[in-house]
Amino acid sequence: MDRLSGLDASFLYLETPSQVMNVAIIMEVDPSTIPGGYSFDGLRAEMNRRVTGLPVMRRKLADSLTNIDHPVWVEDDDFNIERHVNRMAVPSPGRIQEVAQMCSHLLGQELDRKKPLWDMWVMEGLEGGRIALFIRMHHATVDGATVADILADLATTSPDAPDLDPELVAANSGSAVRGELALHGAANFLIRRPIAALKLIPKTVPVPFEWLKRVRSGDGMPAPFEAPRTRFNAPLSPRRSISLSQFPLADVKKVKDHFGVKVNDVVLAMCGGALRQYLIDHDELPDAPLVGLVPVSVRGADEHDLVEIGTNKVTGMFTRLPSTVDDPVDRLRLAQMYAGQAKQHHKDIDANMLRAYAEFAPGNTLGALMRIYADRRLSALHPPVFTAIVSNVAGPPIDMYFLGAKVESCYPIAPIFHGLGLNITVFSAGDKLNLGIVTCPDITSDVWHLAECFQGQLEALVAAVDADVAAGRTSAADTVD
């Protein structure tokens, strides 16, 4: 058995019927490239074969009343692919909008915790003979980087089925003996956790004081609860709404290279501009900058005895979004400055501190408090922690084939939270940048308009590059006196 880290387990504790912790991918694929032709039974059989080489997709949760620590992962000895891979038809005319509508409904449904926490929905009937694949996994199982890793394991560079790694096929998460589960959990909770707390507290004491100092000087991350309130900072219902878009990665890199910034700066500038336009269209733009929470991977960061090994190796970085500036190039420069300040501040904080504190997450207590918080709609009574989650995940820079079908688009989908009802995630794959936006239709009803605003932002930045080139300027920096 493998015990969940505190951060992994927290996503279980935080889940309520209106705050479902699912991470997903929506793929449009061309089934004509599958060797021997497409059939649902054949696709499911190949998925079954691939899963035998992916231990993370064969394990399930185990817990008991006598376990006072986090649950554990064990092997599902009764694994059946028919419980995980399902089939449905997309309504006419079979556009990506219809796919998103169906996926929105599935995204808001809780996964069955008695079996491995994932499923796949094969959606047939798309225009042009394509099919869509909706792969849904619980956040306790994956983070953004892990999703990319799993996708890389399931996808290939050619339509041909790959050989499986014998070591991964033989890997086994084992079982959980009730007595062993309880004794190991008690040792963690009663001995190891108190010792870890004594080591962690002295590391934490200076952090809020240094943060407050940086906030006052204006050269660091914004503090939590400093974001202006928007329509997205409201309690959630169980319903979800998804919108999708896709951009040429070459256009993003064209902007990046011309202005001497990073891809992430371009993404943040697009987010600030798109949210600005969307809120202006609703006559709701705040005077203060919006604030984004940017998940940051700590893979490769030094581990220490305060942190359990787990799947979710992430922390969060707060950054202002350039929503108060009208000119697209000025927004890009401001996004670069805000991100630079946030990165420098974030670098001075122990990358594993969030994960270390998550080890102390009280399972039943946290779950009960979250249900009260949701039922009493308490998120409407305090200032927003931030405006939106903004994630940028790098995928493979080559064409992919998923179970033999050529991948034409790969949209990332991530969860939202009470009072934090907007998640914007981009995923680069091949020569495209794929955008997935998730919100709740009971707090905003036109999420596709927000996706359209993103398109306009990139077009404006590309037009600025073309104008500079036509005027003989190698970069916009040449226009600054």
What's the length of the chain?
A: 481
- The number of CA neighbours under 13 Å toward the Cβ of 46 is 21
What band does 273 get if pLDDT is binned at 50, 70 and 90?
Answer: very high
Give yes or no for residue 477 having a pLDDT over 60.
no
pLDDT of residue 218: 80
Among the ranges given (104-108, 224-228, 311-315, 365-369), the one the predictor scored with the smallest mean pLDDT = 311-315
> Catalytic one among 70, 138, 139, 418?
139
Give yes or no for residue 118 having a pLDDT over 70.
yes
Residue 366 or 106, more confident: 106
- Fold match flag (2-179 vs 218-395+417-479): yes
Give yes or no for residue 450 having a pLDDT over 50.
yes
- Domain 2-179 falls in which CATH fold? Chloramphenicol Acetyltransferase (3.30.559)
Give yes or no for residue 107 having a pLDDT over 50.
yes
- Residues 151 and 198: their CA atoms lie apart, in Å, by 40
Could you state, in order of their start, the residue ranges of all structural domains in the chain? 2-179, 218-395+417-479
Q: Convert the pLDDT of each residue in 289-318 to its tens digit.
A: 999 999 987 765 555 555 555 666 778 899
DSSP letter (8 states) at residue 189: I
- Residues 424 and 442: their CA atoms lie apart, in Å, by 18
Q: CA-based diameter of the chain, in Å?
A: 75
In the residue annotation, 139 being an active-site residue is answered as yes
Alpha helix stretches (DSSP H) within 54-189: 96-107, 144-154, 166-170, 178-187
Q: What is the dihedral of CA 349, 355, 356, 360, to 10 degrees?
A: 140
Among the ranges given (183-187, 195-199, 430-434), the one the predictor scored with the smallest mean pLDDT = 195-199
Residue 390's SS3 state is strand
pLDDT of residue 388: 97
Distance (Å) of CA 179 to CA 5, 52, 268: 20, 29, 50
pTM over 0.85: yes
- Residues 242 and 238: their CA atoms lie apart, in Å, by 13
> Minimal CA–CA distance to 150: which of 319, 25, 276?
25
Give yes or no for residue 373 having a pLDDT over 50.
yes
Instruction: Give the long-range contacts of residues 248-252, CB within 8 A, separation 24 or more.
Output: 248/431, 248/432, 248/433, 249/428, 249/430, 249/431, 249/432, 249/433, 250/431, 251/458, 251/462, 252/433, 252/458
Among the ranges given (43-52, 197-206, 241-250, 437-446), the one the predictor scored with the smallest mean pLDDT = 197-206
pLDDT of residue 481: 35
Residue 398 or 438, more confident: 438
- Domain 218-395+417-479 falls in which CATH fold? Chloramphenicol Acetyltransferase (3.30.559)
Give yes or no for residue 476 having a pLDDT over 60.
no
Among the ranges given (172-176, 253-257, 407-411, 466-470), the one the predictor scored with the smallest mean pLDDT = 172-176
Give yes or no for residue 479 having a pLDDT over 50.
no
pLDDT of residue 312: 66
